[in-house]
Structures are given as structure tokens and as C-alpha cells.
Amino acid sequence: MRLTAAVKKVLLFEILQGMALTLRMMFTHAVTRQYPEEKRPPFPGFRGRHALVRDPETNKEKCVACLRCATVCPSQCIKVGYEEREDGSRVVKSFEIEAARCVYCAYCVEACPLCALVMTEEYEYSGYDRPSFTFSKEQLLKNWDDFTGPLKSVGYFNKFWRPEGLDVRTMSAAKRTQGPVRFKSDGEVL
């Protein structure tokens, strides 16, 4: 053991450094936010509560039950029930997302060819039991209505509908031509 190391141990040099740091920080301004009063605005592309986008013309969900979202989901938290029509198209009967199992990767949003699924910027939701984190089709549509109601602009475009760096020519026609979903000021679809 060197002499300087021995002196530091005897004089408790590290403890004195820690106490000096504590004393300095006692007189500086706190950097924490007082959460309920001071809400931090979400960053662009924030992945929050799930929602199904309403079709502007029919006022129903845009989902056509292609099952890409359920296939690409790494945690397998998306369940889609559908009924096939005689012409081969599908009608969504049920759509469930278990938010407690979700890892919020947004692969489902990126994989959707019709931009029918979105992860809103809503981060304040909680529950006391597991079933309250399972969103049904009706709840997902309500999440969309709740999210678009207070929007200040008349349109919404999710950044995951057309991810950066992805060649636009490889996307489906619906995704290439997708523009912002337009709304009235009270949250109703135009």
C-alpha cells in the first residue's frame, strides 16, 4: 500500500468529498418536476396508449383484419377476431390489445398497411387489476376519440405510419398516400 492511499484511508478523504458534494447540492435549485402540477410534453414519436383510427368516411375503424399487427407483435399481445365475407374481404369482429404485456415497440403501427393502428401520446393511464389493461375494439376507438378531442390542429399524422429511412416505394399504396387524418375541432372526424 502506498503512503498516499494510506493517508486517504486514515483521513476518510472519500467521505469528506461526498459530504462536500452533498453540501453543495443542498443550496442548488432542484431539477425534479412536481409531476401532477408540471406535466412534461411528450416527445415526437412517443409511444403511449393504443388506439384504432376511425375511417373519416364511415366513422368506423379502418382495420381490415389483415392480421399483420398480430403477426409482427413480439409479445403476442394483439388478438384480432374477424368474419370473412363472400367476396373474400374481412370484417373485424373483435380487436384486443393486452397493454400489460405490450413492450411498446410500435411494430404493429409500422406493419399496418392502412395506418389503422396508432400509439397515442397519452401516458397517464393506470388500473388496479389486469383486465383494466386489456383494450377491446370499443375501448380502442374511444382511446382514439379521447386522443383526438383536445388536438389543437385539424389533422393527425403518426410518425410510425411512414418510418424514416424506409424506401417509400416498398410500402403499400394506402401507406404511401396516407395523409393526416382530419378532424373537426371537437374531435369528430371530418
Backbone φ, ψ for residue 84 (5° rounding): -90, 140
* Each residue's pLDDT tens digit, 102-158: 999 989 998 888 889 999 888 888 889 989 999 999 999 999 988 888 777 777 777
Q: Which run of H or E residues covers position 117?
A: strand 117-119
Is 0.75 topped by the overall pTM?
no
Where exactly are the structural domains of the chain?
A: 1-31, 50-182
pLDDT of residue 71: 95
For 50-182, CATH number?
Answer: 3.30.70.3270
Closest listed residue to residue 97, CA positions, set 54, 46, 131: 131
pLDDT of residue 190: 52
Positions in the chain whose pLDDT score sits under 70: 1, 183-190
pLDDT of residue 1: 61
CA distances from 68 to 43, 74, 76, 77, 157 (A): 27, 12, 12, 13, 20
